[in-house]
Chains A and B, each alone.
Chain A
Amino acid sequence: MAFLPLIKAVLFAAIGFAVGAGATTGLRNLLGMEPWSTEPVVTMGYVFALIGWLLGVGLWDAWAREWFGKQPKEPLHEGWARFLRFSTDHKVIGVQYLVTMVVIMLLAGALSLLMRVELAAPGQTIMGASDFNTTMSLHGIMMIAVAVATVMGGFANFFVPLMIGAEDVAFPRINAMSYWIVPPVAVLLLATPLMGGFDTGWTAYPPLSVLNASGQLLFLLAFLTFGVSSILGGLNFLATIIMLRAPGMSWGRLPIFVWSIFSAALISLTATQSVALGLLTVILDRVAGTSFYNAAEGGNALLYEHVFWFYSHPAVYIMILPAFGIALEMLTHFSRKPLFAYKWVVASLLTVVGLSYIVWAHHLFTSGMGDYLHLPFMVTTELISIPTGMVFLSGLGTIWQGRLWLKTPMLFALGFLMNFVIGGVTGIFLADVPTDINLQDTYFVVAHFHYTIMGGEIFAILGALYYWFPKMSGRSYNEALGVVHFWWLFLSYNVTFISMFWVGILGMPRRVADYPANMADANLFVTVASFVLGASFLVFAGNLLYSWIKGPVASANPWKARTLEWQTSSPPPLENFPSEPTVVGSPYGYGVAGSVHARLAPAGGSKEQDGQS
């Protein structure tokens, strides 16, 4: 029965909730307090429900049994039902993450269209300010989750072990757990409207986030839970990349995508703990009556902004570093040239990791923090241009004089370069204190971060979905529709978001449901463009969905690429390779006579031979 683990998980979650909620009311009663208080009861109920959910979905069968001296049950390795349960196969987990995140992306995209309808004209059009705030906040946090977990959960899971020649990740069961933590996050977020919604955006600044409707609590619990998943993921990829590289896979032969995941995982593991602390203190202020952020009792609202951005600025590099890796990976294979300045790019990725921890207060130039902090944070922030510039040199140097094969993934990689440069240079306007004082909290900021995350990272992700689709599904997507999707999206995307810079310069604050009449024309223009953009995703979803079921069968290496994931069948077998590969050279030896990346010893009836093409 395919759905049995999910049914069990829901049942265990319900029991867990009853236990947590019951214990809380009972304890309150014993302490002589009013037994029922929604937020403490919901919080404790949720904690136990989460544990119940995890045990029910398979953590008990596959793992916890052995703590009590029992034999763990062998997981399912065949059929589509394995995607609906606790699987420890990194490829299954990768697909679970990718499907979940693409669905969340499409939902959150639909929310953004609702916002654009409301903003098409001044005054109220389809929803009041309260619903707008919840819609906007949900769009924000859902897209943040997509931006963090699509690559770090999806592609990293599926491809890091393959690209380093490993059988799986270092901690397969922790890996499965970090995925199964995510569905409760989605449920909590989608349930926020039932408890009054939340109106703080994804940043959740107190005191507002302590004073508003209980929907905020669900958001805080969801974000905190998601943070736990990120921390575990970061730990797992660091251990995997350090410990499980195939023989000969020295650090200097690591594909750039793996380096980018290594860099992002460093941040995931360390910085996420800071935001977890920030969220926890807001939860305590709400539920336990502490006063971290209540000025009347000696708290400090500004403290949260520092703690929050101490994670959340590094977090944007969890999003963009892997996008650099993906884009460079595709640029080199589709240009048939070695990756330009490989070692310098690796150094640049690590430099960005280092700098990412010391730039956070550029989000706080107008917050009222000490003026003397403006200059140092402006300097550290603008220094990031230097390593980022190196990534651009690498991209441009790689395509120069190449043999460009303009397949859909390559188009997205080139689109990434053109979009991200706009995101990069507009970032300078926000790092520069004099201009930021005016632009902070306007649509200029909205346009800027959409250029980096959507124009940058999401373009890289879409390219990667096409690039690795044959490997993951064993089938080919429709190339013509892929090209249509790219051009449709690229043009409508730029029209929509370039206009948002203009709206921002006109003086439109971000996160508003209404605006003065002078901005009406510009906003109507953006709304119309955004719908053209949204429609392009129908082509994308239709193409990939149909191709997954009925597309022509793909070969092992349709792109003639040199990295290891293409040297095994599509999709790869459970153990990834027929025998352990031996790495003997660079993955990017294009144009070098006799260059070989890896050798796969023939074994078990496999016909796989040398890794060169």
Chain B
Amino acid sequence: MLELLIVPWNLFPLAAAEEAAVVDNAFKLLMVLATPVFALVVVTVIYSMLRFRRRGEPTEDGPAIHGPRSVILAWLTVTTGLTILMIITPGITGLRELRAHASEAPDLLVQVQGGRWFWKVTYPEYGVSSTKELVLPVGKRARFEVSAMDVLHSFWIPAFRVKIDAVPGKITTTYATPDTLGSYDDDEHMRIQCAELCGLGHSVMRLSVRVVTEDEFKAWIAESTAK
């Protein structure tokens, strides 16, 4: 993991799902690729401003360099190479990682409905639903089937780095495998946050997320069923 050595600081907030690691690593790799490009431009501009500055009205022209073919072709080769590299990794490799388990059956099914301005989560396998919180067992891969009751919304859990829009008349799906215990009370990133503008209550269209042990999850299900 070369990129971890070069980008030692931790930019990122709490990451609480396996998918979050894929996304954060892709981000770090892009930082590694972007930094030299950024540095090249800024250093060249600042150097030129200091080195090639002329005070007062110009009295002479610079050399008539129209752009030697060798320089242009070398530049094209490097930029094309970098672009292909970025497409392959983290682009294609990241996509493959995120979809590595797409064909496997999930451990848990959660139906998520977005409406103005609340979230409703349903566990069809247990006949339980809630508009108060999303509870997930740690280490279990959950499939989210997302739908909208009225207008577009977007299902986003910042701590999982997972997002998919809720579209009226359509069911969209995404997956997450929580790997860290915790809840919204400990860290604000453990929330469903609506990420697609939906009107008046958009900003506060949130739902607490709580990741618990499997036993706690079963207990919560049992308690919710009893109600």
Is B170 at the interface (CB under 8 A from chain A)? yes
Is B7 at the interface (CB under 8 A from chain A)? no
Is B107 at the interface (CB under 8 A from chain A)? no
Chief secondary structure at chain B's binding surface? mixed
Are B86 and A399 closer than 8 Å at their CB atoms?
no
Question: From residue B38, how far is it (CB to closest CB) to chain A in Å?
Answer: 6
Contact with B along A506-533 (1 / 0, CB 8 A): 1101011111111100000000000000
Residue numbers in B under 8 Å from A252 (CB-CB)? none
Task: Write the chain A residue with the least CB distance to B153.
Answer: A208
A 517-563 contacts with B by CB, 8 A? 517-519, 560
Contact with A along B38-65 (1 / 0, CB 8 A): 1001101100110011100110111111
A402 to B65, CA, bound (A): 10
Are B44 and A590 closer than 8 Å at their CB atoms?
no
Are A338 and B66 closer than 8 Å at their CB atoms?
yes
Are A512 and B203 closer than 8 Å at their CB atoms?
yes
Contact with B along A416-447 (1 / 0, CB 8 A): 01100110111011001111011011100000
Contact with A along B132-168 (1 / 0, CB 8 A): 0000000000000010001110101010011111011
Neighbour of B26 across the interface among A129, A341, A434, A509, CB < 8 A:
A434
Is B124 at the interface (CB under 8 A from chain A)? no
B 71-92 contacts with A by CB, 8 A? 71-72, 75-76, 79-80, 82-83, 86-87, 90-92
Are A441 and B154 closer than 8 Å at their CB atoms?
yes
One of B192-200, B210-218, B219-227 at the interface: B192-200
- A434 in contact with B203 given A401-B65, A403-B54 (CB within 8 Å): no
Is A251 at the interface (CB under 8 A from chain B)? no
- A396 in contact with B163 given A368-B170, A401-B65, A591-B62 (CB within 8 Å): no
Are A417 and B45 closer than 8 Å at their CB atoms?
yes
Are B62 and A402 closer than 8 Å at their CB atoms?
yes
Task: Write the chain A residue with the least CB distance to B196.
Answer: A441
Is A354 at the interface (CB under 8 A from chain B)? no
Question: From residue B189, how far is it (CB to closest CB) to chain A in Å?
Answer: 5
A424 to B40, CA, bound (A): 13
Residue numbers in B under 8 Å from A208 (CB-CB)? 151-152, 197-199
- A393 in contact with B94 given A385-B83, A441-B154, A507-B158 (CB within 8 Å): no
- A129 in contact with B76 given A208-B197, A434-B22 (CB within 8 Å): no
Is A3 at the interface (CB under 8 A from chain B)? no
> Number of contacts between A and B (CB, 8 Å)?
262
A206 to B83, CA, bound (A): 35
Are B80 and A434 closer than 8 Å at their CB atoms?
no
Are A432 and B91 closer than 8 Å at their CB atoms?
yes
Question: From residue A304, how far is it (CB to closest CB) to chain B in Å?
Answer: 10
Task: Write the chain B residue with the least CB distance to A367.
Answer: B165
Task: Write the chain A residue with the least CB distance to B52.
Answer: A404
Are B62 and A336 closer than 8 Å at their CB atoms?
yes
A342 to B67, CA, bound (A): 8
A 566-613 contacts with B by CB, 8 A? 589-592
Is B37 at the interface (CB under 8 A from chain A)? yes
A383 to B191, CA, bound (A): 35
A426 to B71, CA, bound (A): 26
Are B72 and A344 closer than 8 Å at their CB atoms?
yes
Residue numbers in A under 8 Å from B53 (CB-CB)? 404, 406
Neighbour of A338 across the interface among B64, B99, B197, CB < 8 A:
B64
Are B197 and A205 closer than 8 Å at their CB atoms?
yes
Residue numbers in B under 8 Å from A379 (CB-CB)? 87, 91
Residue numbers in B under 8 Å from A27 (CB-CB)? none
Contact with B along A397-420 (1 / 0, CB 8 A): 101111111100000001001100
Residue numbers in A under 8 Å from B67 (CB-CB)? 340-342, 344, 394, 397
Residue numbers in B under 8 Å from A403 (CB-CB)? 52, 54, 58, 60-62
Contact with A along B116-144 (1 / 0, CB 8 A): 00000000000000000000000000000
Task: Write the chain A residue with the least CB distance to B92.
Answer: A375
Residue numbers in A under 8 Å from B189 (CB-CB)? 507, 518
Neighbour of B202 across the interface among A205, A426, A511, CB < 8 A:
A511
A506 to B170, CA, bound (A): 30
A406 to B158, CA, bound (A): 45
- A382 in contact with B151 given A200-B197, A400-B44, A437-B163 (CB within 8 Å): no
Count A-side interface residues using an 8 Å CB cutoff.
91
Are B54 and A404 closer than 8 Å at their CB atoms?
yes
Is B23 at the interface (CB under 8 A from chain A)? yes
Is B169 at the interface (CB under 8 A from chain A)? yes
Neighbour of B52 across the interface among A200, A301, A399, CB < 8 A:
A399
A560 to B57, CA, bound (A): 9
Are B167 and A368 closer than 8 Å at their CB atoms?
yes
Is B30 at the interface (CB under 8 A from chain A)? yes
A424 to B41, CA, bound (A): 11
A206 to B168, CA, bound (A): 10
Are A414 and B66 closer than 8 Å at their CB atoms?
no
Question: From residue B209, how far is it (CB to closest CB) to chain A in Å?
Answer: 12
Question: From residue B47, how far is it (CB to closest CB) to chain A in Å?
Answer: 9
A440 to B164, CA, bound (A): 10
Are B58 and A560 closer than 8 Å at their CB atoms?
yes
Neighbour of B71 across the interface among A206, A378, A397, CB < 8 A:
A397
Residue numbers in B under 8 Å from A509 (CB-CB)? 156, 193-195, 203
Residue numbers in B under 8 Å from A425 (CB-CB)? 34, 37-38
Is A390 at the interface (CB under 8 A from chain B)? yes
Contact with B along A222-260 (1 / 0, CB 8 A): 000000000000000000000000000000000000000
Is A371 at the interface (CB under 8 A from chain B)? yes
Neighbour of B203 across the interface among A129, A366, A394, A437, CB < 8 A:
A129
Residue numbers in B under 8 Å from A502 (CB-CB)? 11
Are A590 and B161 closer than 8 Å at their CB atoms?
no
Contact with B along A478-499 (1 / 0, CB 8 A): 0000000000000000000000
Is A207 at the interface (CB under 8 A from chain B)? yes
Question: From residue A382, how far is it (CB to closest CB) to chain B in Å?
Answer: 5
Residue numbers in A under 8 Å from B168 (CB-CB)? 207, 295-296, 301
Residue numbers in B under 8 Å from A591 (CB-CB)? 61-64
Is B172 at the interface (CB under 8 A from chain A)? yes
Residue numbers in B under 8 Å from A112 (CB-CB)? none
Are A418 and B152 closer than 8 Å at their CB atoms?
no
Question: From residue B175, how far is it (CB to closest CB) to chain A in Å?
Answer: 11
Closest A-B pairs by Cβ, 9 of them: A295-B169, A434-B94, A368-B172, A341-B67, A507-B158, A591-B64, A512-B203, A389-B79, A425-B34
A208-B199, A336-B61, A425-B37 known; 13 new pairs, CB 8 Å cut-off, are A129-B201, A295-B169, A299-B169, A337-B62, A340-B67, A368-B165, A378-B95, A385-B86, A397-B67, A405-B54, A429-B27, A438-B158, A502-B11
A-B contact pairs, 15 of them (CB 8 A): A129-B203, A205-B152, A341-B67, A344-B67, A368-B146, A371-B99, A375-B95, A390-B76, A393-B72, A406-B49, A434-B91, A438-B161, A507-B189, A509-B156, A517-B188
